Structure 1
Amino acid sequence: MTGSDTPPSFRLAYVPGVMPTKWVRIWHERLPDVPLTLVPVASGEASDLLRDGGADAGFVRLPVDRTFFSAIPLYTETTVVVVPKDHLVAAVDEVSAEDLADDIVLHPLDDTLEWQHLPGRPAYERPATTADAIELVAAGVGLLVVPQSLARLHHRRDLTYRPVTDAPQSSVALSWPEEATTDRVEDLIGIVRGRTVNSTRGRAAAPAQPKQRKRPDTGGARQKPAAGRSTGKSPRGGSGGPKSGKRGKPRRRS
């Protein structure tokens, strides 16, 4: 296949914690001739990637610059605190930020939560990444508050997590540059919004089936039979043909 014959691919970015598997599967089912390229990107770098044309659209964490990007919010995550399994927090179902006041709470540089007041006591130094912070939690240095998907992404057998009831939450959205709303972006919008393949708003909708030809309306009047065709009625009238009842035999005279 030559370069001119190669169908253009669609580049879809996604940030850590987002699992685009379901949407990718539907894309391949509906648009098998359009390759889909997944582009992993750090949460803090997603906007720059989309702005510079490194991807056509992306699953990102809000907020985004709404003067430049369009965004469709998809879901909001539960916020959890990651702790060692032998920590007191592991013995309860959920905690509040105040319950963490006596603990060191790590605040990585790639934190995705918008805090007004950080819970707990600050660490001497901020970890560079969430992955680094997880290692410090495992070493007993402190705790980490993150969206639940990131706790699952960095799962360790010696760690667990519990919901934090009053912590800020992180929302995930499908986003793309507003001026670059292409047909393929519209296809992806239809997929994430759950539109069917035959949706009139979907670019990959199946072609409409030809309509059946209707019989001409006779206005309730009976049509005249074609010449030479029998109506099934007797020329003498009545609803059927001539009656063919059998005659009785003549009586013999004695």
Structure 2
Amino acid sequence: MFHLFKRTRSDLEREEAFELMPDNVPKHVAIIMDGNGRWAKGRGLPRIAGHHAGMKAVKRVTIAADEIGVEVLTLYAFSTENWKRPRDEVDFLMKLPQEFLSIELDELVEKNVRVRMTGWKEGLPAHTLEAVEKAIERTKHNTGLILNFALNYGSRHEIVQTVRDIASEVRQGELKQEDISEELISNRLLTGALPDPDLIIRTSGEIRISNFLLWQMAYSELWFTDIYWPEFTERHLVQAVCEYQRRARRYGGL
């Protein structure tokens, strides 16, 4: 349960010895949650233990993001490439949304959090899809933090599919070629209803994007940490946001 919502913004600031600027909190934070397997291996545990511990980090970070004023939190939960992993690990990963939402959904509703999914429903097990769709339906009228799970998501596939759809409309005369713009493409992507991420975080020490929000991250600030995802806490999120606030976002200008 979300008992830690009792903690205040100042509590988090004191822990990290940083002062957040409330007028410059990133609206959209996206996180590549990496390092579950290595965290488990380092403790002599099976990889699935790392994924289960990572689920607890999802809860912590959702709480902290809501507390400091983030409007959208996108979590890279399962990529289109992750189907290549061993079958037993994939099966376990597909059970995590069901487990997480069965425990936390009531509290998410109470805290005005809205659940979304960015990705393809095709190919997801019925129990996974049912849990996600139930959460989306129950929270659809909420107006607080958007908790967006990137599930069965891959950015290149997203871009290719969007281009195909636009090309089909041009071919059928429903759209003129000169009407194609960056704004049109952005609106047609799976994230069309969301602002582009202001800040992208990746855990575990890896410094790459892994086919995540490639179009949307054109002007995102990037923050990498050696911390494995199961160890990622509210303090680390505050640290990342404070670093974001120290940067000047010029969007190509001076």
| Bigger Rg over Cα | 1
More strand by share: 1
Q: TM-score category by the smaller chain?
A: under 0.3
TM-score w.r.t. the length of structure 2 is 0.21
More helix by share: 2
Q: Which has the higher contact order (CA 8 A, sep 6+)?
A: 2
